[in-house]
Amino acid sequence: MPDETITQQVSERYARAVTTGEQMCCPTGYDFKDLQTFIPEEVLHASYGCGTPAGLTTVQPGETVLDIGSGGGIDCFDAARRIGPTGRVIGVDMTDEMLALARRNAPFVARNLGHPATTVEFRKGHAESLPVEDGVIDLIISNCVINLAPDKPAVFREMYRVIRPGGRFTISDIVADQPVPNYLLHDSQKWGDCLSGALPAREYLDGLVHAGFLGVHQVKFSPWQVIDGIHFFSVTLAGFKLPAAAERKDAFATLVGPFSRVMDEMGHSYRRGVPEPVSARTAELFRTEPFERIFLLSETPIALAATDQRLMTILPANTPCVWKGHYAILTAPFAEAEDDDHHVYRRGSPLEICSKTLDVLESGPYSRHFAILNRSTATVSADAVSCDPDGNCC
């Protein structure tokens, strides 16, 4: 199906939804009781998506926020509340009906917020060619929209172009655990359902890194639908556009855990407890939130002995395990990582895991770094598998 046809059909379907009230994509976690205090009802009724952009909680007064696929404006108006009267919000959408809905409600939202004038501007455009200047955006948000774009690498490049150095993104979208087959790719109905355009998780994550972003990581994960054995799930991702140069000096980074080994997005490897020299730019990255408690940064090399209390080592229980159909998808800010049971995870690629490994990955330190799916179609009654006495499993 030609890209132009996909875009036109998706736009027409969302235009109809303004008047029909059709529910698009999948349910979100909006607090409508809170939003009703300043956002008109007709905007709330035309709200679609697959996750509340968690990045809004990081917004500082005076920042400039861009919403890709702003629809009726719900996320833009929520951002306007957070940036205050000195900030700016830009919403970009390709559907005239959605833009009209958002524009006519912008003055009411400004009045309800007590702002002297609206801080929200809605522009018509496509995600692959954003009508936004270079390097002016502090934060990009997007709620289940990028999967609707036929050329996602172009979207990622545009995101990188408009974000200022030191800026960030937090986007919610639908991805899949495997490539979507042709019979779904050419199903216009399922494009509008946020299914046919879903990239495999690895391709989505790699695309953001190839565009230039670093520290790409999962904020939230939620299973959604299974169609013909393909698992579609909602994931909220965040990442950074680092400044070209950092003022701080080069440093050393010592991996603390919970992983025994990781490879960063630039291809550098780190083993737990072993200090490695890093550039000032990498050190700046490792100071961001997703790397907290993972690295120890220092001006001089610091090696940590196996008995050091700062290290995190999590071994599986020394009991039999069972294969129950679980798969783990690494969503940490690393290209590759290894646990203490010698499982090697490549970001975005599903890896089958047993019950013991599942218990490990669902533990506190690991849980934020993985999306867990179950591909079994019925209750599993597999026999237990004995593991090695030293704890090595499967």
Mean per-residue pLDDT for 69-92? 95
- Which pLDDT score, from 0 to 100, does residue 57 have? 86
Cβ-contact 235, 217 below 8 angstroms:
no
At 3-51, the pLDDT tens digits run 564 455 544 444 444 454 555 555 566 888 899 999 999 998 877 666 6
Give 272's DSSP letter. Answer: B
Instruction: Name the pairing type of β-strands 163-176 and 137-143.
Output: parallel
Whether the pLDDT of residue 183 is over 80: the answer is yes
- Which pLDDT score, from 0 to 100, does residue 391 have? 46
Q: Is the pTM of this model over 0.95?
A: no
Whether the pLDDT of residue 270 is over 90: the answer is yes
Whether the pLDDT of residue 177 is over 70: the answer is yes
Poorest-pLDDT segment among 2-11, 127-136, 174-183, 312-321: 2-11
Mean per-residue pLDDT for 243-255? 82
At 353-391, the pLDDT tens digits run 999 999 999 988 999 999 999 999 877 665 666 555 454
Residues 6+ apart with CB under 8 A from 2: none
Closest CA to 142 of 110, 168, 177: 168
Q: Is the peptide bond before 181 cis (omega within 30 degrees of 0)?
A: no
- Distance separating alpha carbons of residues 49 and 145, to the nearest angstrom: 8
Mean per-residue pLDDT for 239-249? 81
Look at 175 and 50; give whichever has higher pLDDT.
175
Mean per-residue pLDDT for 63-81? 95
Whether the pLDDT of residue 72 is over 50: the answer is yes
Residues 6+ apart with CB under 8 A from 104: none
What amino acid occupies position 311?
A: L
At 109-153, the pLDDT tens digits run 999 999 999 999 999 999 999 999 999 999 999 998 999 898 999
Domains and CATH numbers, the chain: 3-240 (3.40.50.150)
- Distance separating alpha carbons of residues 217 and 5, to the nearest angstrom: 32
Angle between helices 152-162 and 201-210 (to 10 degrees): 40
Mean per-residue pLDDT for 56-71? 93
- Which pLDDT score, from 0 to 100, does residue 389 have? 42
- Which pLDDT score, from 0 to 100, does residue 182 have? 86
Whether the pLDDT of residue 314 is over 70: the answer is yes
* Structure tokens belonging to residue 42: 């007709």
Mean per-residue pLDDT for 175-200? 81
Whether the pLDDT of residue 255 is over 50: the answer is yes
Cβ-contact 69, 148 below 8 angstroms:
yes
At 276-308, the pLDDT tens digits run 999 999 999 999 999 989 999 999 999 999 999
Task: Round the average pLDDT of the chain to a whole number and report it.
Answer: 88
Residues 6+ apart with CB under 8 A from 189: none
Whether the pLDDT of residue 186 is over 90: the answer is no
